[in-house]
Chains A and B, each alone.
Chain A
Amino acid sequence: MRVALFTTCLAEALAPRALKAAVLVLEHCGVAPEVPLAQTCCGQPMLSNGLPADAATLARRMCAVFAPYDAVVTPSGSCASVVREKYAVLFDAGSADRAAAEALAAKTYELIEFLETRLGVDPTSLKGRPCAPLTCHDACHLRGLHRHGCTAPFLSRAGCGEVRELPDMAQCCGFGGMFSTQFPEVSTALGDEKLAHVSSTGAGTLVASDTGCAAHLAGLAHRKGVALRVISPAEALAESLGLLETGAPNGGKP
């Protein structure tokens, strides 16, 4: 099986460690992912902001770039959902583009989903070593993939350590792409509420299954001087499996 890592632009810019972790975890599970060099952006920002034709241009590129692979895996919940749920309707039924979009949708997975549903990894077989207590916020876009709420149980069963239940996990963190700058007060208020729930768990590490949500929550915490480490599910797994060094909460001085 040829597996491609769909890196996403946000993760390449902000969170290279999440991508590194995804590669290491996949290798640990017996898959050596390739990284197609020509991949760029999936078009989510255009799609979500009223530019479907621009999104379609990028969707066509994505279909071509990932055509040679059997599976496409990404550590970002929202980018996965765009490919899976939004690509096909950009093109006319019966067109070649539509068929390509449907083919890409059918083989695209969020990382944890890929491990669990495509590779059939039993998380308990991973036998990770417990790391510091963590709590987990799933990206809202995992709803559409029927994967909302699946990350925490997976990490817990994989032995990542104590996974504390995040109160009101179902509520959006307020990121929402450009919504975060269009309605900054509302976005921030939602983020603050999420951080208050995170803090109520006492966990020093937050696992967020989307790079955007992670950047929003980490950025809010950092602005407030709250010591909170925000990582991806891939990093939590990689750390627990000893593939990456465990980090400390951010906020340290160089």
Chain B
Amino acid sequence: MNPLIAPQLPFDMKPRAREAVRDLKLQQFVGNATHLKDTQRGGIFDRDFGLEYDDLRTVARDTKQHALDHLDELLERFIANAEASGAHIHAATTGREACAIALDIARVHHAKSCVKSKSMVTEEIGLLPAFEAAGIKTLETDLGEFILQIDGDAPSHIVTPMIHKDRVATAKSFVRELGSRYTEDPEELTKIAREHMRGLYRAADIGVSGANFLLADEGSAVICTNEGNFDLSVGGPPVHIVFVGIEKLIRGARDLAPFLKLLARSGTAQPLTIYTSFVRGPRHAGEHGGPRELHFVLVDAGRVGVLASEKRDLLRCIRCGACLNACPVYRKVGGHSYGSVYAGPIGAVLTPELERAQSGSNGLTNYPDLPRASSLCGACYEACPVKIDIPKFLLHDRARLRERGLSPASEESVLRVWRWLAERPALFRLAIGAARLHARMLGQREVAQDGERAWLTRAPGPGAGWTATRDLGFATGESFREWFAKHDNARGAR
């Protein structure tokens, strides 16, 4: 797998984050795109739902939570109904198993080529490298994923995988890899990609996709796309495999509406994705399209473990990407800084949790920076269409980091001393007084009309991280308590 999304562990986020902040192009591309999508998201919900937006989110939250709470039952129902429709069902406990199932299917059909539409779970389990290693030439048909594939790059956003790249880079790789003429015109580029892909769809032995929802009542999958590439990948090849995390199950079409209303609006500020495709069973007698064989690979890969943990809410995630667009930190560091298929706020909590559930480790030893890489601003929670309280889980993980000694001990000593002092009001006041005195003695003093300030430009100990880029201003006059004592006396006298 690409080290950008499957780095060496334990993963050190800081160097990548530092580099990303200095990368002016990345700042521009990711900053502009995320701001735009976030603003448009707010706009379309305001326009279409107004104050009812929150009710819609509550319905979606409760519906998905209910589905998760009854997952056993829904799985059984889905399997029965999908099998009745002629589909084959496979269950994979691990990513490796999921890949092995697909390789078996490919072997039976002597498959040499595959067309694949966008799917996060296939990224997660490393399907493409597994196929390539087995000599199955695989084409990413989502335009963004295709560009990343020919560039040897990796997705950095759940919904807009090439958010970190620009047209110039795309144009250059098209010339290099496809031998096309140089153009930066998006329409032209799309046309070139389309021409390149059309023949490959027809020739492919296997189609692969993910799914946005599984409908238990109907035994079918719902796939939301904008480019129509899914429909080609399911319509052309004789065999199609749908990879899907088991958390995508909902009761059925009767529960689908709120999610369709929320998914496209949250992700791309569209009322609906251009295509909302329903896949049920293989091609039946008398039908003209569709694969002759349809497989569902139901992927656990840690999800059952998450379901049994206090982080089960995370499985409500519908992969809309809204939290990434809303997150100030994601906007600055980009997706690859998270060292995982899942970037941004949801990735920061989901990645260690999936690792924990799969490996039996604590999950955080390998990702000690992820829970800390947040200002806890809450924009993710506000943007989440299924109301996942991501900041709550970040705090939860920060506590686990401390318990396991995975956070700096120096920080902990400072916090412990602070707490100890805070239990002793007189000492605490002395400490604040000492900090102010320190600033008054050593700081740069400046007078303004509203009083004098002393600016610390080099703070000792834990303050050094602060003064690397910032000064710290203290008002030097009398303390609030001194002022208030006098004020209160005067008040009493009045």
Contacts and interface: CB of A to CB of B under 8 A. Distances in A.
Contact of A16 (B329, B395, B421, B478): B478
Contact of A254 (B18, B395, B447): B447
User: DSSP class of B's interface residues: helix, strand, loop or mixed?
Assistant: helix
A189 to B, nearest CB: 5
Contact of A186 (B21, B425, B432, B483): B21
A147 interface: no
B402 A16 contact: no
Interface stretch (A96-104, A113-121, A156-164, A173-181): A173-181
Contacts of B329: 183, 186, 190
A129 interface: no
A124 interface: no
A209 interface: no
A176 B21 contact: no
B407 A49 contact: yes
Interface string B421-436: 1110100100010011
B448 A247 contact: yes
B372 interface: yes
A223 B471 contact: yes
Nearest to A61: B423
Contacts of A14: 472-475
B28 interface: no
A139 B468 CA distance: 23
A190 B470 contact: no
Interface residues of A, number: 79
B422 A43 contact: yes
Contact of B483 (A20, A182, A251): A20
Given A9-B428, A46-B415, A247-B450, A172 B480 contact: no
A184 B375 contact: no
A38 B479 CA distance: 16
B422 A61 contact: yes
B43 to A, nearest CB: 13
Chain B, interface size: which category?
35 or more
Contacts of A7: 480
B445 A32 contact: no
B447 A253 contact: yes
Contact of A51 (B333, B381, B399): B399
Contacts of A58: 419, 422-423
Contacts of B8: none
Contacts of B422: 9, 40-41, 43, 58, 61
A254 to B, nearest CB: 4
Contacts of A49: 398, 402, 407, 411, 415
Contacts of B372: 179, 182-183
Nearest to B392: A89
A216 B470 contact: yes
B479 A250 contact: no
Interface of A: 7, 9, 11-17, 19-20, 23, 32, 35, 37-41, 43, 45-52, 54, 57-58, 61, 140-141, 143-144, 168, 170-172, 174-191, 215-216, 218-220, 222-223, 229, 231, 235, 244-254
The 8 closest A-B pairs by CB, nearest first: A247-B450, A176-B375, A181-B465, A219-B470, A50-B398, A140-B377, A50-B402, A172-B377
